[in-house]
Copies of this chain bind each other. A is one copy, B any other.
Amino acid sequence: MNIEEIKNKLSQHGLKATIQRIQVYSAMLKTKSHPTAEDIYSMVKAEIPSISLSTIYNTLDSLIEKNLVSTVKTDSDVTRYDAFLDSHHHIYVGGGDEIIDYYSQELDDLLNDFFKKNSIPNFEIKEIKLQLKGDYVNNQKENN
């Protein structure tokens, strides 16, 4: 998504297209992983050196309110953010903070099916999300 498209997206959602918001959202879209506010801060600082951390938080809050971004809670106490809002699940690697997205239409179908057959009384399900916890095996990705 280029700058012009980001501008439009922000306007469409009733947000003024300030440089700060454009850069924050742009940074969110650039990172495949799940950045913290600080991560975004350092990324955006390269473009707007004078930006402050609280603007990052304010901006992320606005984006969340407009459903352009969501939060992911980790086991540590930092909030991580996610700009990819299509249905996906999360793989939590090790005890740490690494989170990987997991997409599977087959799994989604399976789950939707299950809860269609086993609906919960007086409860309307809005989102079904899986958390997988585990570890790499075979020395894969162990030397970061």
- Known A73-B73, A123-B91; judge A131-B134 contact (CB<8 A): no
Contact with B along A67-78 (1 / 0, CB 8 A): 000010111010
Bound CA span A125–B90, Å: 12
Of residues A73, A75, A77, A137, which shows the largest number of chain B Cβ atoms within 10 Å of its Cβ?
A: A73
Using Cβ atoms and an 8 Å threshold, which residues of chain B touch A133?
125-127, 129
- In whole Å, how far is A55's beta carbon from the nearest beta carbon of chain B? 20
Cβ-closest chain B residue relative to A104? B118
> Is there contact, CB below 8 Å, between A126 and B134?
yes
Instruction: Specify how many copies of this chain sit in the oligomer.
Output: 2
Tally of chain A residues near chain B (CB < 8 A): 36
Supplied contacts A73-B73, A128-B131, A129-B130, 7 more A-B pairs, CB within 8 Å: A73-B74, A91-B120, A104-B118, A110-B110, A125-B133, A128-B130, A129-B133
**Which residue numbers of A lie inside 8 Å of B, CB to CB?**
71, 73-75, 77, 91, 93, 102, 104, 106-107, 110-111, 114-115, 118, 120, 122-138, 140-141
Question: Which 10 residue pairs across A and B have the least CB separation, nearest first?
Answer: A73-B73, A122-B140, A127-B133, A125-B134, A126-B134, A129-B131, A124-B134, A124-B137, A122-B138, A126-B133
